[in-house]
Amino acid sequence: MASQLAHPAYGMARSVTEHAAVIVARNPGPMTLEGTNTWLLGAPGQHGRILVDPGPMDEQHAEAIIAAAGTIELILITHRHHDHTAGIDLLAERTGAPVRARLPEHCRDAAPLGEGEELRAGGLELTVLPAPGHTADSIMLAVADAAVPALLTGDTILGRGTTVLDATDGDLGDYLETLGSIIDRHSGHLVLPGHGPELPDAATAASDYRAHRLHRLDEVRDALRVLGEGASARDIVERVYAAVDRSLWGAAESSVLAQLDYLRDRA
C-alpha cells in the first residue's frame, strides 16, 4: 500500500508503490531540491531489497535506510555525482551488499553495469538503460514486471524543475537523445527521480523537458545573434536567465556552455 505521506518525509521510508519506497537525505539545496532520494525496491512479500543511490555521506541517513530496508541484496548507482555516491562505503560496509555502477570506481565486490543488462534482486527484474546527458555515466533503471511500471531516472528527470548538464562530461546532444528514448519507450512509466517527488508519466515529463531545452536553445541562438558569436557563457546567462534566481546562475552557466558546444558542433 502506498502511504499518504508527502515528499520529502525526512527520516523515514515513504512507500510510493508496492515495489518502491523513498528515503530523502537531509542535503537540501538549489541543485538537490529537498535532498537526494535513496530508493528501496523489492517485490511485496520479499525480504531482500535493492538500494538505488546511497546519497551523501550521512550517518543518520544510513541508519534510516538500514532500519527501513531489512536485507539489502544489491546497491546500484545512477551516476557519479557526490550527492548520490558519497555514502557508498558507509552503506556497503554496514550491509555487506555489492555495489554496481557504470564506473568501476563506484563498484564494490562486483563488476560495472553493462548496457541493457538485466538485473534480478529483491524479487524484481530491472533493466539498465544508459542515459548520457546529465553526466556521461548516467543510467536509468526500468522496473517492468511491477503492477505499476516504473523508471528510476537519477538526475536525468527530476521531480520538479529541470536538471543541469554537468560542465565536464554532460552533453546536450546525448541528453536530447536520452529524452527521445524515454518518450518512445516509457509512456505510462511512473518516474522515480533522484531528487523531488515522483511523477505520473515518464514520456510526458521527458517531452516537457525536451520542449524546455529546445526553447532555451532558441534563446541562446537569439542571444548569440544580439551579443555576437564571441559572447561568453556568462554574458548569455545574464541575458537569457535574467528572471532566474542568481543563486542558480552558476548552474545555468554550465548549461549554457553545454548549449554552446551543441550549437558549435552543428554549425
Binding segment toward Zn ion, per CB under 5 A, in 51-59, 120-128, 147-155, 246-254: 147-155
User: Any idea what DSSP says for residue 36?
Assistant: B
Cα distances (Å, whole numbers) of residue 228 to 231, 233, 236, 261, 266? 6, 12, 10, 16, 17
Task: Select 155 or 253, whichever has its Cβ closest to Zn ion.
Answer: 155
Give the nearest distance from C-beta 200 to Zn ion in angstroms.
23
| 3 state SS of 205 | helix
Question: How many amino acids of this chain bind Zn ion (CB under 5 A)?
Answer: 2
Residues in the chain: 267
- Residues between 75 and 134 that touch Zn ion (CB under 5 A): 81
| Residue position matching grid coordinates 524515454 | 182
- Residues between 165 and 194 that touch Zn ion (CB under 5 A): none
Task: Select 122 or 154, whichever has its Cβ closest to Zn ion.
Answer: 154
For the chain, how are helix, strand and coil distributed in percent, rounded to 5?
Answer: 35, 20, 45
- Per-residue mark of binding to Zn ion, 215-244 (x: CB under 5 A): ------------------------------
Give the nearest distance from C-beta 193 to Zn ion in angstroms.
11
Task: Select 122 or 159, whichever has its Cβ closest to Zn ion.
Answer: 159
Give the nearest distance from C-beta 1 to Zn ion in angstroms.
31
Give the nearest distance from C-beta 183 to Zn ion in angstroms.
21
Binding segment toward Zn ion, per CB under 5 A, in 103-111, 150-158, 224-232, 257-265: 150-158
Binding segment toward Zn ion, per CB under 5 A, in 16-24, 117-125, 155-163, 253-261: 155-163
Among 137, 155, 171, 198, binds Zn ion (CB under 5 A): 155
- Per-residue mark of binding to Zn ion, 64-83 (x: CB under 5 A): -----------------x--
The end-to-end CA distance of the chain, in Å, is 52
Give the nearest distance from C-beta 83 to Zn ion in angstroms.
7
Cα distances (Å, whole numbers) of residue 220 to 165, 246, 257? 15, 18, 10
C-alpha cell at 29: 539545496
Task: Select 19 or 81, whichever has its Cβ closest to Zn ion.
Answer: 81
SS3 string of 58-103?
CHHHHHHHHHHHCEEEEEECCCCCHHHHCCHHHHHHHHCCCEECCC
Question: Quick check: 23 and 61 in contact, CB under 8 A?
Answer: yes
Question: Quick check: 249 and 260 in contact, CB under 8 A?
Answer: no
Give the binding site for Zn ion (CB under 5 A). 81, 155
